[in-house]
Amino acid sequence: MQEQIVENKKSIDWFTESRFGMFIHWGLYAAIGKSEWTMYGQKIPVKEYEKIAATFNPKRFNAKEWVSVAKEAGMKYIVITAKHHDGFAMFKSETEPFNIVDSTPFERDPLKELAEECAIQGLKLCFYYSHVIDWHHPHSIHEHCNNTWDYQLEEKSFYNYWNRLVKPQITELLTQYGPIGIIWFDTAGGLSKKDSEEIVQLVKKYQPDCLINSRVSHWPNFGDYQSKGDNEIPMYGEGTKAWETPMTLNKSWGYNEQDDNYKTTESIIRKMVTIFSKGGNLLLNVGPTSLGEIPIPSVEKLKEIGAWMNENGEAVYGTKESPFPYEFDWGAITVKGKKVYLHIQNNKWSTGSIRINGFKSKVKKVYLLSEPHLNVPFEQNSVEFVGLYNLHLNLQNEPPSEFISVVVVELEGELQIDSTFIEQSGMIKLDLGHSIIEKEHDHNVAKWKVKIAEKGKYEIRLITYKKAGTNWADEFNQDMILRFGNKTKNVLPKEDKIVTDSDNCQYPYSEVQSHLGTFDIETIGLFSLELGSNRIKEKAKGPEIWQAEAVKIRTIQIIKTN
């Protein structure tokens, strides 16, 4: 049993090979058109909320169209909200009449229709289920987000809810819709370890190969893979388990008629390849309307993504993460066998060349993925006495693909790289996740070793993510201690630059860059870099609370300025 809780090794392969899935937030809240937390935000009484069901008639819902949109986008699985926090079941539930078949004029089971269509089109169907939060049920108890406007907290009996609704409905989902790829749980605040184990056992009893995400529990080591925070792209060095980022196309999950804040297609694809290069999956969300239609802007974005995936899918599906434990300024890397895929952002293509330090493998040939007959000229050389290995590519004048173009580096033998941190074309990012954190006096110190390949002046920047509404001065009111080589600086970080379209950061966070200092590097080779601050925390040993921190320290960036 413990083996299944830690990781379902038998069935995780399909998940990691798929890389790309569709999240669908669809429920009774679509009729209000203000997203899925409206009942809680407006403290809508249960009796009033139930009346909305009488008007909910998604007569334009078409399972074939939905699955076709996902398939055309290059998605391999669909996760749909079978029951969200409002307690409304989007399937025929014998356990609770507050469901789409028994309480609405629609009188159809959309999950049944999606299951049939997914089987026809070859996608895996997966179910989201809110197992702890349920504002409709009088006995649901969460750590924080409870319905206390209808029900008295002290009168709640959790096991009434747990045994009479949750377990029976999960049983229904696992026994009436064929093979299910994932049961995607959410917000497990306050759930005991015993109850966490019990719900995992229930899923595995009916479908042993069904995956369970880590949000089933806040206790460590639960789930077959890790769900990152909403819209969170992790830093390097955070763990080895398979993982997935759930991401919105705009700012909302459920349908919000006022939210037209859509990411650009280019921004989505940049974030996608960043996720893939770190070994993760992207679960990209749509929020259908009360009529059962995926909003037109979402469909248009997905078609554009699909066109890119159709051309570049070889560099996505079944690939492994980049062998380099840091980001590249020009894009991202994925690997499959003896092929290394360089996902080069088109705005970086115009530089005419790409240089990769630390590339030790002998290269057989280099070509464009979209035009395999077009070879890319390359050179390899090394400086043995300092352990520097270099691959230099000469790019053609124009990028061959829209948004991001993929160059294939085909190897003669197995892939070998220098896995130490090496400055790449005058820049390197050192994520906090790969540092060694030690206690010194009243603060922690993050420590890295970095190889500098060129002499010159180097600027050190701190990259943090700041949550919307946070006052910077409240968070940074003490100097940080920065050591690079044998030089030390004390500096109070400021909001020197706000990056509005970061490859890694998105709403509700924004990327902040802070200048920490400039250093003269007079010799090439290995240097130590240390950052001391009372804001640096020890690495988490278990699941973290999603989006809890006002400011997250992410990265130290080293940039050659001359």
**Which position has the token pair 């464009």?**
368
Same CATH topology for 2-315 and 331-418: the answer is no
Q: Each residue of 147-159: pLDDT tens digit?
A: 999 999 999 999 9
Rounded to an integer, what distance in angstroms lies between the CA atom of residue 83 and that of residue 65? Answer: 22
Write down the pLDDT at residue 83.
98
Say if residue 323 is preceded by a cis peptide, omega within 30 of 0.
no
Q: Each residue of 377-421: pLDDT tens digit?
A: 999 988 765 567 889 999 987 899 999 999 999 999 999 999 899
Residues 6+ apart with CB under 8 A from 194: none
Q: Each residue of 87-117: pLDDT tens digit?
A: 999 999 999 999 999 999 999 999 999 999 9
Would the pLDDT of 328 be above 70? yes
Write down the pLDDT at residue 9.
64
Residue spans of the domains in the chain: they are: 2-315, 331-418, 427-560
Rounded to an integer, what distance in angstroms lies between the CA atom of residue 226 and that of residue 145? Answer: 23
Buried b (16+ CB within 10 A) or exposed e, 22-58: bbbbbbbbbbbbbbbbbbbeeebebeebbebbeebbb
Domain 2-315 has CATH 3.20.20.80: yes
Write down the pLDDT at residue 200.
98
Q: Residue 486 — very low, low, confident or very high, per pLDDT cuts 50/70/90?
A: confident
Q: Is residue 217 within 8 Å of 193, Cβ to Cβ? A: yes
For the ranges 53-62, 452-461, 468-477, the maximum mean pLDDT occurs at 53-62
Write down the pLDDT at residue 6.
42
Q: Each residue of 519-540: pLDDT tens digit?
A: 999 998 899 999 999 999 887 7
Rounded to an integer, what distance in angstroms lies between the CA atom of residue 161 and that of residue 86? Answer: 14
Write down the pLDDT at residue 542.
57
Residues 6+ apart with CB under 8 A from 288: 24, 26, 30, 58, 61, 66, 255, 294, 295
Residue 471 tokens, joined: 């006052």
What is the fold, at CATH topology level, of the domain defined by 427-560? Jelly Rolls (2.60.120)
Q: Calculate mean pLDDT across residues 306-314.
A: 97
What is the fold, at CATH topology level, of the domain defined by 331-418? Immunoglobulin-like (2.60.40)
Write down the pLDDT at residue 396.
81
